[in-house]
Amino acid sequence: MCAAMQSAAAGARTLLVERGSMLGGTTNTAGVNFPGIFHAWGRQVIRGYGWKLVEHCVAESGGELPAFFDPPVPSRHWMHQVRVDRALYTMLCDEHVSRTGAEILFHTMPAKLEARETGWRVTVCGKTGLFELDATCLVDCTGDANLVTMAAGDLLDAGGEKQPGTYVCRASGYDPDTLDLEQIDAAFQEALARGEVLPHDAGWDVNTPVASRWLRNLGENANHIPGIDARDSEGRTRMEIEGRKAILRMYRFLRRQPGLENLRFEFLAPECGVRETARIAGDVTITAEDYQSGRVWPDALSHSFYPIDLHTAGGSGLNKIGLAPGTVPTVPRGALLPKRLKRIAVGGRCVSSDRAANSALRVQASAMAMGQASGAMAALAAQTGVDMRDLPIEDIRALLRTHDAIVP
Q: What is the pLDDT of residues 352-388, one digit of tens each?
A: 999 999 999 999 999 999 999 999 999 999 999 999 9
Give me the pLDDT at residue 159, please. 81
Domain CATH code at residue 366: 3.50.50.60
Label residue 46 by pLDDT band (50, 70, 90).
very high
Label residue 69 by pLDDT band (50, 70, 90).
confident
With 80 as the cut, is the pLDDT of residue 160 above it?
A: yes
The string of pLDDT tens digits covering residues 1-20 is: 999 999 999 999 999 999 99
Domain contains 408: no
Query: What is the extent of the structural domain holding 23?
Result: 2-160+277-402
Q: Are residues 119 and 51 in the same domain?
A: yes
Domain contains 144: yes
Residue 343 contacts residue 138 (beta carbons within 8 Å): yes
Report the length, in residues, of the chain.
408
Q: Are residues 33 and 102 in the same domain?
A: yes
Q: Are residues 308 and 365 in the same domain?
A: yes
Domain contains 356: yes
Number of domains into which the chain is organized: 2
Q: What is the dihedral of CA 68, 274, 263, 34, to 10 degrees?
A: 10
Residue 124 contacts residue 110 (beta carbons within 8 Å): yes
Rg, Å, the chain Cα set? 21
Domain contains 320: yes
Q: If we measure between CA atoms, which residue out of 225, 168, 163 comes closest to residue 200? A: 225
Q: Are residues 318 and 294 in the same domain?
A: yes
Domain boundary among 211, 234, 268: 268
Domain contains 231: yes
The string of pLDDT tens digits covering residues 294-307 is: 999 999 999 999 99
With 90 as the cut, is the pLDDT of residue 127 above it?
A: yes
Q: Are residues 128 and 234 in the same domain?
A: no
Domain boundary among 268, 287, 322: 268
Label residue 72 by pLDDT band (50, 70, 90).
confident
Q: Are residues 51 and 129 in the same domain?
A: yes
Q: Are residues 143 and 73 in the same domain?
A: yes
Element (H, E) at 319: strand 318-321
Helices (H), 259-391: 288-293, 355-361, 364-384
Q: Are residues 145 and 189 in the same domain?
A: no
Q: Are residues 137 and 252 in the same domain?
A: no
* Section 37-50 average pLDDT: 96
* Section 349-353 average pLDDT: 97
Domain boundary among 268, 300, 332: 268
Q: Is residue 141 classed exposed, middle or buried when 0-12, 13-18 and 19+ CB atoms within 10 A define those classes?
A: buried
Give me the pLDDT at residue 230, please. 96
Residue 50 contacts residue 368 (beta carbons within 8 Å): yes
* Section 336-365 average pLDDT: 97
Domain contains 64: yes
Q: Are residues 12 and 132 in the same domain?
A: yes
Domain contains 69: yes
Residue 107 contacts residue 19 (beta carbons within 8 Å): yes
Give me the pLDDT at residue 393, please. 98
The string of pLDDT tens digits covering residues 200-217 is: 999 999 999 999 999 999
With 90 as the cut, is the pLDDT of residue 74 above it?
A: no
Give me the pLDDT at residue 191, please. 98
With 80 as the cut, is the pLDDT of residue 71 above it?
A: no
Query: What's the pTM?
Result: 0.96
β strands within 45-140, DSSP E: 103-105, 109-116, 119-126, 129-135, 138-140
Give me the amino acid identity at 205. Answer: D
* Section 157-181 average pLDDT: 95
Cα–Cα dist 181/169, whole Å:
20
With 90 as the cut, is the pLDDT of residue 144 above it?
A: yes
Partners of 165 in the β-ladder: 225
* Section 207-236 average pLDDT: 96
Q: Are residues 135 and 284 in the same domain?
A: yes
Q: Are residues 119 and 180 in the same domain?
A: no
